[in-house]
Amino acid sequence: MKRKIENFWRKYFLSLDENFYEIEPSEIMPEKVFIASGHIKNFVDTIVICKKCKADFRADHLVEEKTKESAEHLTDKQLTKKIRELKIRCPKCGGELGGVNYLNLMFPLKIGSNDKGYLRPETAQGCYVAFKRMFGATREKLPLGLAIIGKAFRNEISPRQGTYRMREFTQAELQIFFDPDKINECESFEEVENYKLKVKFSDQKRVDEIPCKKLLYKLPKFYVYYLAKVQQFYLDLLKIKPENFRFRELSKDERAFYNKYHFDVELFTPRFDNFKEIGGVHYRTDYDLKRHEKISGENLHITIDNKKFIPHVLELSFGIDRNFYSLLELSFSNKILKLNPKVAPFTIGIFPLVNRDNLYEKGDELYKELKKEFDCFFDSSGSIGRRYARADEIGTLYCITIDYKTLEDNTVTIRDRDSTKQVRIKISELGDIVEKLVDMEITFEDIGKIVKTRKKKEGYRI
Amino acid sequence: MKRKIENFWRKYFLSLDENFYEIEPSEIMPEKVFIASGHIKNFVDTIVICKKCKADFRADHLVEEKTKESAEHLTDKQLTKKIRELKIRCPKCGGELGGVNYLNLMFPLKIGSNDKGYLRPETAQGCYVAFKRMFGATREKLPLGLAIIGKAFRNEISPRQGTYRMREFTQAELQIFFDPDKINECESFEEVENYKLKVKFSDQKRVDEIPCKKLLYKLPKFYVYYLAKVQQFYLDLLKIKPENFRFRELSKDERAFYNKYHFDVELFTPRFDNFKEIGGVHYRTDYDLKRHEKISGENLHITIDNKKFIPHVLELSFGIDRNFYSLLELSFSNKILKLNPKVAPFTIGIFPLVNRDNLYEKGDELYKELKKEFDCFFDSSGSIGRRYARADEIGTLYCITIDYKTLEDNTVTIRDRDSTKQVRIKISELGDIVEKLVDMEITFEDIGKIVKTRKKKEGYRI
């Protein structure tokens, strides 16, 4: 299922522009990259140690738990003061806490016998370092999009909340390099101009639904277009209910200083009874390329139409593991996992009605045929009802039952996960019909019609 | 292209048995795992340092370069002696070399603030650690296959030979857990009993072609079956020429002491003018699970039909980067990259004959339609001949040309990479035909026939 989400993301986001590509730089990168990116200096968490039991904690989290307000932007000194003011003590032993310090979140490594490197804490830097070469290799056009789907690593002081804060996690990130003079140009903007975005501005409590064109008074066209494309990915393709999706603008305090615009992508997550960040749309300006130019000494200016400049970057960033978890939770109700056909773990379950009279063998034969093309499983144990229930729980889209009629006329019943409706079709049509269902070219209701029409033609009595 | 190789491998190897699954454990693993696996103690290279210039080298490689014989199995003391005997001096400055020492190849890490861990040097251990849980989750059946496609890390002293010795690389590995009492049972062995394997035994210089059933006198059925499946993957699916493929049996000196049978998968690689290891089929016995049971204290015995035992492991292991490189080199000749349709980077190139009279727009429209389903590119610069040549070089399977006739009757020419033959077909048939070609359901020659038949039916003059 995780691979399917990755493939689904890849197909959608890489096809947004013909000049978007996936690359795979290494996960270990030399120290210089992170001096340039600012991670060596800024990528730190605030840590506080109990004077008594020596346990360590995230200082901002301790303050947040007490105040129920974000404390991520506070400095070490401010946090130390807050901890004293709020009289926060060690959650483990109740002992007195020490002063707040910074701890870098990257994993350091020795490369070979002498060079210093780090495991990347985000995938983005790989794209910035590769930009100049990729720009040359793709015939020097902008916008140029470079995507990475891969691991990132953060030595979290306290990993927690399941897939939400892990030391090793999978990111899918797309860096779009563009000409800043053209930030208000966007060829395909018409497609989305009346499309309503669900946005919570940093200075407001409510979520507004605003047509894209009405956002242009405060956000550039190029940026709004990609907000729309992100929302469409969740609402139209992954079928997330609109009330569970929103963009949240980060206030100046919350966002990185180099991000001119920063909206988090948030999904409502029942487990936390709250919206949780599962991605972000960041306008990073020319900060990264400028820094890499300075530290590496490599000229990262490009020339297009006699204009020499450093491209700006729009970053679309997604946490695959968080999306994975949110999708599971938002799709599961009444013991049915209603996942989109493209990300559901299994497309087909195959069940012989009983395990005798050749029904088992017939089912096994069909299973071996269908699994060449679809993700299938074969289940012959327990009652049919129990098998349906098991299939529903893991999101299986269609259940095929082999019964005595199958042996007579090579037809099977196909059952729809979401409606639990069933219809009898020919085995010879099965592959074609399921393919069309998964591609959402037809609905399950259409099958009934197709079968009726065919039967009429063939002179069946209906 | 790398993603396509991974997907191709996944689809093929996971469908060899209905009880094979892909899992994704973490790349960072705790120290205990590698104490159990023996990596802490044994996963070392021999290093020698120049007394004068302080440069470091792999001791066995220096000896191999001099003797042209494998030196990988020699101990530190044996290598020190060899270096003295052969009077090997520093390749950089000619200075005297010091004694040979061992250097562990794993990247150590500090997890959190206190725990020790390592980046995994192979993916296999993730499967062994997960075995018991996965066995329970998949209804306790054997054989059980657990596959990992992911990164592995080795702090090589001297990375070299391009993708053949990298510090960070991608492995695709399948661990098959089975009952050792059933090693001579294999349900589907009939399929391959007469299939000839290309095998070089460790005590012979020549490569033999031996039917699977004739190998049973020295190798178990279960093992031979998977050798056959690996060879079929390369010869039948990836279309590697038989003369470029072989299994090479490793001698007792060369193979790990816990491998009872060990054949490397080798492809001839023109760049090295030699066969190179790109994978391996290892019968690891119960070594790994036994060690993990001992070190972790977790009971890894299972019970099936009242028999309590530790499963044995057959490992199919492949280096994706090495396969990637070998495939590129073996597929490229006469400036054409003849890759298998499933791994070629592009399926379709779309070329408007000229950039005026609406041909460009027509081509762009077709491009936008086709790219929903296929990997396509659009190229409108240079002569058609030049564009064909560019497309051939990157392995593009089919080139579609939009010309003046297209505007009249919605037909295009489609050109086959391998035969350079062309045929004119309707745009409405295009998607369907290309899909069948890629799935190898029809050949390019068949299109001519299909078109002829259709034209006859429709009363065309041919």
Question: For position B243, what pLDDT does the model report?
Answer: 96
Q: Which of B313, B392, B295 lies closest to B35 in space, CA to CA? A: B295
Q: Which amino acid is at B309?
A: F
Query: What is the count of residue pairs from A and B with beta carbons less than 8 Å apart?
Result: 63
Is A56 at the interface with chain B, CB within 8 A?
yes
Is A113 at the interface with chain B, CB within 8 A?
yes
Give dist(CA B7, CA B2) in Å, integer: 9
Question: For position A460, what pLDDT does the model report?
Answer: 56
ipTM of this complex = 0.86
In sequence order, which residues have a C-beta less than 8 Å from that of residue B152 and are 6 or more positions away? B27, B119, B120, B121, B122, B123, B168, B169, B170, B171
Average pLDDT over residues A332-353: 92
Residue of A nearest to B149 (CA): A3
A107 with B112: Cβ contact below 8 A: no
B110 with A56: Cβ contact below 8 A: no
Nearest CB to A18; choose among B26, B103, B378 = B378
CB atoms within 10 A of CB B133: 10
Mean confidence (pLDDT) of chain A: 92
Domains with residue ranges and CATH for chain B: 2-32+107-331 (3.30.930.10), 44-104 (3.30.40.230), 335-447 (3.40.50.800)
Task: Say which residue, A230 or A55, is predicted with more confidence.
Answer: A230
Element (H, E) at A247: strand A245-249
Residue of A nearest to B158 (CA): A112
Nearest CB to A167; choose among B10, B28, B153 = B28
Is A112 at the interface with chain B, CB within 8 A?
yes
Kindly report the nearest CA distance between residue A279 and chain B, in angstroms: 22
Q: Is the peptide bond before B159 cis (omega within 30 degrees of 0)?
A: no
Question: For position A245, what pLDDT does the model report?
Answer: 97
Kindly report the nearest CA distance between residue B186 and chain A, in angstroms: 17
**Quick one: tokens of B14?**
């996971």
Q: Is B77 exposed, middle or buried (0-12, 13-18, 19+ CB in 10 A)?
A: exposed
Render pLDDT for A40-66 as a digit per residue (tens, 0 to 9): 988 888 889 899 988 888 899 899 989
Half-sphere exposure of B109 (CA within 13 A, CB side): 27
Average pLDDT over residues A70-78: 87
Render pLDDT for A442-452 as a digit per residue (tens, 0 to 9): 999 998 888 87
**Quick one: tokens of B132?**
């018991």
Render pLDDT for A129-167 as a digit per residue (tens, 0 to 9): 999 999 999 989 999 999 999 999 999 877 778 888 899
Q: Which of residues 365-404 of B touch A (CB under 8 A)?
A: 367, 371-372, 377-378
- Can you give the length of chain B in residues? 462
Give dist(CA B456, CA B49) in Å, integer: 78
Is A8 at the interface with chain B, CB within 8 A?
no
Give dist(CA B366, CA A434) in Å, integer: 26
Is B3 at the interface with chain A, CB within 8 A?
yes
B168 with A27: Cβ contact below 8 A: yes
Render pLDDT for A273-289 as a digit per residue (tens, 0 to 9): 999 999 999 999 999 99
Q: Tell me, what DSSP letter sits at residue A143?
A: S
Q: What Cα–Cα distance (Å) separates residue B98 from each residue in B47, B52, B62, B81, B161?
A: 10, 9, 13, 11, 26
Q: How far is CA A127 from the centre of its chain?
A: 18
Average pLDDT over residues A181-204: 95
Residuewise pLDDT in 10s, chain B (462 residues): 899 999 999 999 998 998 999 999 999 999 999 999 999 988 888 899 999 988 888 899 999 989 988 888 888 999 999 999 999 999 999 999 999 988 889 999 998 877 899 999 999 999 999 999 999 999 899 999 999 999 999 998 777 788 888 999 999 999 999 999 999 999 999 999 999 999 999 999 999 999 999 999 999 999 999 999 999 999 999 989 999 999 999 998 888 888 899 999 999 998 889 999 999 999 999 999 999 999 999 999 999 999 999 999 999 999 999 999 999 999 998 899 999 888 999 999 999 999 888 999 999 999 989 988 899 999 998 999 999 999 999 999 999 999 999 999 999 999 999 999 999 999 999 999 999 999 888 999 998 888 877 777 766 543
Question: For position A459, what pLDDT does the model report?
Answer: 63
Q: Which of residues 214-273 of A touch B (CB under 8 A)?
A: none
Query: Which of B155, B156, B191 should we substitute to test contact with A (largest number of A Cβ atoms within 10 Å)?
Result: B155
Half-sphere exposure of B329 (CA within 13 A, CB side): 19
Give dist(CA A289, CA A295) in Å, integer: 10
Q: Residue A411's beta-bridge partner residues?
A: A426
A113 with B157: Cβ contact below 8 A: yes
Question: For position B294, what pLDDT does the model report?
Answer: 95
Nearest CB to B167; choose among A28, A151, A167 = A28
Q: Tell me, what DSSP letter sits at residue A97?
A: B
**Three-class DSSP category at A207:** coil
Kindly report the nearest CA distance between residue A407 and chain B, in angstroms: 24
**Quick one: tokens of B32?**
């205990």
CB atoms within 10 A of CB B115: 11
**Three-class DSSP category at A58:** strand
Q: Which of residues 331-370 of B touch A (CB under 8 A)?
A: 367
Is B155 at the interface with chain A, CB within 8 A?
yes
In sequence order, which residues have a C-beta less than 8 Å from that of residue A23 and are 6 or more positions away? A126, A127, A130, A134, A146, A147, A148
Question: For position B451, what pLDDT does the model report?
Answer: 80
B372 with A15: Cβ contact below 8 A: yes
Task: Say which residue, A72 or A90, is predicted with more confidence.
Answer: A90
Question: For position A462, what pLDDT does the model report?
Answer: 40
In the block, tokens 């490992």 appear at B315
B24 with A2: Cβ contact below 8 A: yes
- Can you give the length of chain A in residues? 462
Q: Contact A127/A159 with Cβ under 8 angstroms?
A: no
Kindly report the nearest CA distance between residue B1 and chain A, in angstroms: 10
A18 with B155: Cβ contact below 8 A: no
HEC-encoded secondary structure of chain B: CHHHHHHHHHHHHHCCCCCEEECCCCCEEEHHHHHHHCHHHHCEEEEEEECCCCCEEEHHHHHHHHHCCCCCCCCHHHHHHHHHHCCCCCCCCCCCEEEEEEEECCCEEEECCCEEEEECCCCHHHHHHHHHHHHHHCCCCCCEEEEEEEEEECCCCCCECHHHECCEEEEEEEEEEECHHHCCCCCCHHHHCCCEEEEECCCCCCCEEEEHHHHCCCCCHHHHHHHHHHHHHHHHHCCCCHHHEEEEECCCCCCCCCCCEEEEEEEEEHHHCEEEEEEEEEEEECHHHHHHHHHHCCCCCEEECCEEECCEEEEEEEEHHHHHHHHHHHHEECCEECCCCCCCCCCEEEEECCCCCCHHHHHHHHHHHHCCCCCEEECCCCCHHHHHHHHHHCCCCEEEEECHHHHHHCEEEEEECCCCCEEEEEHHHHHHHHHHHHCCCCCHHHHHHHHHHHHHHCCCCC
Give dist(CA A266, CA A191) in Å, integer: 23
**Three-class DSSP category at A168:** strand
Q: Residue A20's beta-bridge partner residues?
A: A145
B156 with A2: Cβ contact below 8 A: no
Q: Which of A328, A339, A337 lies closest to A238 in space, CA to CA? A: A339
Using a CB-CB cut-off of 8 Å, the residues of chain B touching A14 are none
Query: Which of B153, B170, B346, B377 should we substitute to test contact with A (largest number of A Cβ atoms within 10 Å)?
Result: B153
Kindly report the nearest CA distance between residue A251 and chain B, in angstroms: 30
Q: Residue B263's beta-bridge partner residues?
A: B249, B281
Render pLDDT for A382-420 as a digit per residue (tens, 0 to 9): 999 999 999 999 999 999 999 999 999 999 999 999 999
